[in-house]
Amino acid sequence: MKIRQDQLQATLSKGLAPCYLVSGDDPLLIMESCDAIRAAARAAGIDERELFHAEAGFEWRSLLEEANAMSLFASQRILEVRIPNGKPSDKGAVLQQLAEQPSPDNILLVVCPRLDSTAQRSGWFKALEKTGVFLPVWPIERNEYPGWLKRRLQQAGLQIEPAALAALAHQTEGNLLAAVQEIEKLRLLGTHMISEDMVTEAIGDSSRYDAFGLADTCLLGNLAEASRILSHLRAEGIEPLMILGALTRKIRQLISMNGMSGQQLSEAFKNQNIWPKQQPPYKKALQNLNIQTLHSALQKAEATDGAAKGAGGDAWLLLSELTVMLTGVKLPTG
């Protein structure tokens, strides 16, 4: 069953499906959709969760074995499978089997970037959609963005003047993670009505230090500035996953546009809601970074994600290495 994001809560309120496929490129919307599914599972008494990162070299047999194993601590579990490129390395055979033969002991949650038409014709996709819920998460359209911002502000207990809303929309430019960070700053001001001056003072000088500012600086090839921004974000207590979400989104967008130029590239920008003001960093990176480097960067991002979630390794060190990769700067090895 295919649903829209605004139908998710109503669908969850009717009971849990055997499996969920959440697909999209916006890290905040993906995170919030998955959080809603996990919250519904917890409300149903399902607290145990097993996480699988299905990157290159992933042993799909381990997922199948885990799905067939009885839990020692709970009657039901969430088996969460993240596929960074949306293409299971076993052609989706295990996912198809789990969907076609769902176990009452497990809820399968599969998380992918946006799936193209080829992926949606695959056997594993059709099996998941037939047995469970398919939730394609679309980015907020430009004309919908101010309304989305206003609703988020209201959820935070804030009212905002029209001019202030326009200023906030301009400052965050549709970057939802950055917008949520700025709304939190405004909430901490301790007032319920937000003016344009408050937006300017709270956001203005610090806006270039947000996670998307870091990503754009990397794409422009400015290693020194990117390193300064990363250090600033760490000092400010920003979570590595918040930063990683912005970088990963840029990497996937660049991979999808690799080799494009002219009208084809213009159409790709339009399809991904990358506005003219946001395009220069992408154009510079497409000149500087080849497809091999971009895939290596995506693998580094996956390792960083694991480290940030306790799988081992230094998340900040890996973020620093990822930053260097995305600038295209070659550091001396001697």
- Mean pLDDT for 292-314 is 91
User: In this structure, is residue 226 part of a structural domain?
Assistant: yes
Residues 154, 131: Cα–Cα separation, whole Å? 36
User: Are residues 306 and 217 part of one domain?
Assistant: yes
User: Are residues 279 and 183 part of one domain?
Assistant: no
Q: Tell me the pTM.
A: 0.59
User: Are residues 80 and 202 part of one domain?
Assistant: no
Indicate the range of 43-52, 62-71, 153-162, 316-325 predicted with least confidence: 62-71
Domain end call among 190, 207, 224: 207
* pLDDT band (50, 70, 90) for residue 174: low
User: Are residues 106 and 188 part of one domain?
Assistant: no
User: In this structure, is residue 285 part of a structural domain?
Assistant: yes
User: Are residues 321 and 232 part of one domain?
Assistant: yes
Number of domains in the chain: 3
Indicate the range of 47-51, 130-134, 168-172, 241-245 predicted with least confidence: 168-172
pLDDT at res. 74:
54
User: Are residues 131 and 17 part of one domain?
Assistant: yes
At 200, which CATH number?
1.10.8.60
User: Are residues 169 and 125 part of one domain?
Assistant: no
pLDDT tens column, 110-149: 999 888 888 899 999 999 999 999 999 987 877 888 999 9
User: Are residues 218 and 194 part of one domain?
Assistant: no
User: In this structure, is residue 332 part of a structural domain?
Assistant: no
pLDDT at res. 233:
86
Residues 283, 285: Cα–Cα separation, whole Å? 5
The single residue listed with the structure tokens 């660049």 is: 254
User: Are residues 230 and 119 part of one domain?
Assistant: no
pLDDT above 80 for 42: yes
User: In this structure, is residue 182 part of a structural domain?
Assistant: yes
pLDDT tens column, 195-246: 988 887 776 544 445 788 899 999 999 999 899 889 988 887 888 888 998 8
pLDDT at res. 72:
53
At 104, which CATH number?
3.40.50.300
Phi, then psi, of 115 in degrees rounded to 5: -95, 130
Domain end call among 207, 222, 240: 207
Tokens of 202: 């709270």
User: In this structure, is residue 282 part of a structural domain?
Assistant: yes
User: Are residues 11 and 122 part of one domain?
Assistant: yes
User: Are residues 198 and 215 part of one domain?
Assistant: no
* pLDDT band (50, 70, 90) for residue 11: very high
| Cβ proximity of 118 and 151 under 8 Å | no
List the Cα angle 154/158/160 in 5-degree steps.
95
**Mean pLDDT, the chain, whole residue set:** 88
Q: For residue 227, what are the CA distances in angstroms to 177, 187, 293, 299, 316?
A: 20, 29, 19, 20, 11
**Could you count the other beta carbons within 10 Å of the beta carbon of residue 201?**
11
Domain end call among 207, 224, 254: 207
User: Are residues 133 and 146 part of one domain?
Assistant: no
pLDDT tens column, 64-114: 888 887 655 557 889 999 998 888 888 899 999 999 998 888 999 999 988
At 296, which CATH number?
1.20.272.10
Range of the domain at 278: 211-327
